[in-house]
Amino acid sequence: MQLLSILLLVGGVSCVLACSCVKPHLQETFCHAQFVFMGRVLSSKLVYKKQPLPNDDSFHRRPIHMKYTVRVKKIFKMKDDESVLNKNSTKVVVYSEPYDSLCGVLDLHQRVSYLFPGNFQDGEMWINICSPVVPWPWVTKAQKRYMRGTYSANCECQIVFDPSDDMGCVWSYGDRHSDCYELETACIKDKNSINERCKWHQNSGLRNCRSPKPMEP
């Protein structure tokens, strides 16, 4: 019985420590991030804090963060007062937590370009899996276009899951059209609304994505 209690306790701790977050719409990620840029990973490594132990080796050390060196190719968002990333930046160092349980980003590949959203901590650039780092080829033309100004201009708009919420843009995550709203549109202010409501931007990409696909013979 005592052993069972210990196992349950350990299992409970594991659940508490696990990283869990709902996949956000790219507009939400963009608006909450302090920086967003496209860059190519040059190198990656786990950084360890050495312990004051005799004959210290990697077994006795614990990683303190993951470190990525990234070549900056295009900046979509940055802080004007932050010197780490500016319009003249060509190479930056990006950090993440060293464990999945801490929402660390551990699987970025060298020589691959990604969209990096993240925040500054003590003058350093940090990323996590709750603001997903996306392979650049996965970013759609519509998303690239919206990152040039539409997302920023509509950060007050809320993307919601509750169908009864008539002020924000309802995103039925998981239904057959949810990818269309994620990849092809943005939540924008409704200029015809007197109550400052928001709506999904209607465009040809969204309509084409939602239209029934012809069945193959």
Q: Which residues contact 156 (CB under 8 A, 6 or more apart)?
A: 189, 196, 198
C-alpha of 7 from chain center: 34
* Among the listed residues 177, 173, 166, 172, the one whose alpha carbon sits nearest the alpha carbon of residue 199: 166
Cα separation of 119 and 97, whole Å? 13
Cα separation of 28 and 26, whole Å? 5
Q: Which residues contact 122 (CB under 8 A, 6 or more apart)?
A: none
DSSP state of 158: -
**Could you tell me which residues are annotated as the binding site?**
19
C-alpha of 207 from chain center: 26
**Could you tell me which residues are annotated as the binding site for Zn(2+)?**
19
Q: Which residues contact 22 (CB under 8 A, 6 or more apart)?
A: 173
